[in-house]
Amino acid sequence: MERTAARDAAVQVSYLFGYQRARMHVRVVETWAYHSDGRRRAPEKVTAPTWEQIEAAIRRLDGLERPILFLWASDDPALQMVDEFSERLEVLGGAGVWWLAGTFGGYFQRRLLDPVRGPEEVELYPRQVELGFGAPARHVTRDIGQVLLAARHYAEHGGFEPALPWE
């Protein structure tokens, strides 16, 4: 309750002083980081992130030391689980290849779709990191613009970016 009251007070103060910072749908951006030998580092978390912080975190994904990013809709750690209940957008990969999936709106890992690509496997990060991860090419994008468009829509509004195909 206090957190909600504090946020409401901050919004009221912003109106009094003539500016408004829109509240983001995303409450936490979390990046999983690893040593080059695959050992996990402490996750990097930013609470109440700005779009600029989210974009920077996505651009830092490199497919090895920082291959996994979550945009969480809740700042409650109990609702930040990689399961079918915790609302989030996942961005995996980096270095020119990304996989995006949303778990919200009744979907579990609804994936960004590239309908012109086929079923061949694309590696997003190697086996020494979380036993590796690959996905069919049709669920991988090489376009950072699509990644940022999808992430920004989710971060600001929740939901899937309607201009992009999802499956």
- DSSP per residue over 38-94, as a string? S-B-PPEEEES--HHHHHHHHHH-BSSSS-EEEEES-S-GGG--SSSSS-EEEEEEE
Q: What is the pLDDT of residues 89-139, one digit of tens each?
A: 999 999 999 999 999 999 999 999 999 999 999 999 999 898 899 999 999
Q: What is the pLDDT of residue 39?
A: 92
Q: Which residue has the higher pLDDT, 161 or 5?
A: 161
Q: What is the pLDDT of residue 20?
A: 42
Beta bridge partners of 141: 98
Q: What is the pLDDT of residue 79?
A: 92
Whole-prediction pTM value?
0.85
Q: Residue 18 above 70 pLDDT?
A: no
Alpha-carbon distance 160 to 90, whole Å? 12
Q: What is the pLDDT of residues 24-76, one digit of tens each?
A: 999 999 999 999 888 999 999 999 999 999 999 999 999 999 999 999 999 99
Whole-number average pLDDT of the chain: 89
Going from the C-alpha of 80 to that of each of 28, 60, 110, 155, the distances in angstroms are 9, 21, 17, 15
Q: What is the pLDDT of residue 21?
A: 53
